[in-house]
Amino acid sequence: MPKLMTRPDPEELLRRVQAEEEFRNRGRLKIFLGYAPGVGKSFRMLDEGRRRKAKGEDVVVGAIQPTFPPAIEKLLDCMQVIPLKKLNGVPVIDVPAVLRRHPQVCLVDGLAYDNPPGSAHAKRWQDVEALRAAGISVIGSVNLQFIEELRDKVEKITGKEVTETIPLGFVKTADEIEVVDAPADRCAGHPGEPTHQQNLLVLREMALLLAAEVVDDQLEKYRERHGIEPVGGARERIMVCVKPGTVAERMIESGHRNAERFSGELFAVTVNEPDLTPEDRASLDRALSLARKLDAQVVRLESEEPMHAIMEFARQHGITQIFIGHSSHEHWTHRVWGSFVDRLIREAEGMDVRVFPN
């Protein structure tokens, strides 16, 4: 039988066309993201501008930090710098001058700066939005601590308070984001101290996860513009298979951390077993209680075929990761559970399976 073709909804087609036209007319945004002072994000931003200029793009510098090392000065010498203008004694981007010049690309250092009262925009990132609306692409830089939604977390790690920020929503409009990595001895602080090293690792992980989230958002927007249905969803959906005698609580905690980092969903799924011992039932209840405390969706399945029930649930809910553990019981059910793990791995096509040994 021939497959029936459904006619696209006219309003939906119009929305896609308008979204694609807006995307094409709008300037692109690339952000160099630093996770600590001194990683070299300003240098990388300017070097990117230099390389683009060498390839024939029209590039100008719209804003740079007030002080910079000699290496940056050499990069500035090969590009046109549009001077900052003073407003109430505060240097701000000369947005009208950049718009009149209308380059292909404008470099903007320090995206989180505030503009003084009387400015057309209260924030520098809003200046950037005005440039992008005019079709000018922007390459900018910012440190992790200046992102509003991450400010408190970073402050607890570094002990340094900031007042000027940019919203995460603006960062997520970036077409490209690049985390600027650097050895610990190049970062501000006391590189020899273990606490400094550990802090850098935590901040670096936060920056990498944020970059992954931005890429994920861009992929979702691309799908929306082109009417492409996502396969398995754009977000991570983690399913923890909860069974007595396994390291269920450790799996749930690990799943919660992953779901939180990737703005995903967490499911704690168990297949009811009527003949559990009181000890096993107490273990299961503790694990499910922890799952609820960590905002997981707790699901109890009724089935005589646990494999079929779990995989059917996984496919229906677009699960991307499955966490499963080995039983600690040394009787024949342990051997059955082990074969269950092998079968699940074979069945979970397109899903990542993580096995937690006891």
The answer, yes or no, to whether residue 352 has pLDDT greater than 50, is yes
In CATH terms, 10-226 corresponds, of 3.50.50.60, 3.40.50.300, 3.60.9.10, 3.40.50.720, to 3.40.50.300
* Helical segments of 26-69, H only: 41-54
Question: Do residues 179 and 40 lie in contact, with contact meaning Cβ atoms separated by under 8 Å?
Answer: no
Report residue 18's pLDDT band, with 50, 70 and 90 as the boundaries: low
The predicted model gives 165-175 an average pLDDT of 93
**Average pLDDT of the chain, as a whole number:** 83
* Lowest mean pLDDT across 38-47, 153-162, 194-203, 257-266: 194-203
Whether the per-residue pLDDT at 28 is higher than 80: the answer is yes
pLDDT score recorded for residue 17: 63
Cβ–Cβ < 8 Å for 177, 33: yes
What pTM was estimated for this model as a whole?
0.62
**pLDDT for residue 124 is more than 50:** yes
CATH superfamily, domain 237-356, is: HUPs (3.40.50.620)
- Which residues in 68-202 belong to E strands, given as ranges? 80-81, 85-87, 90-92, 105-108, 137-143, 176-180
Strands 137-143 and 105-108, bridge-based pairing: parallel
Average pLDDT over residues 18-41: 83
pLDDT at 142 over 60: yes
Per DSSP, what are the bridge partners of residue 298? 268
Same-fold call for 10-226 versus 237-356: yes
Chain centre distance of CA 233? 15
Predicted confidence (pLDDT) at residue 192 exceeds the cutoff of 50: no
- Alpha carbon distances (Å) from 63 to 77, 111, 136: 14, 9, 15
Q: What percent of the chain has pLDDT over 70?
A: 82
Buried b (16+ CB within 10 A) or exposed e, 211-237: bbbbebbbeebeeebeeeeeeeebbbb
Distances (CA, A) of 71 to 107, 228, 292: 17, 45, 53
pLDDT at 193: 46
**pLDDT number for residue 197:** 75
Structure tokens at 173: 């409009």
Q: What is the pLDDT of residues 91-105, one digit of tens each?
A: 999 999 999 999 999
What is the spatial distance between Cα 49 and Cα 60, in angstroms, rounded to a whole number? Answer: 8
Q: What is the pLDDT of residues 236-252, one digit of tens each?
A: 899 999 988 778 898 99
Q: In this model, does residue 231 exceed pLDDT 60?
A: no
Locate the domains of the chain by residue range.
Answer: 10-226, 237-356
Tell me the two tokens of residue 75: 């990069």
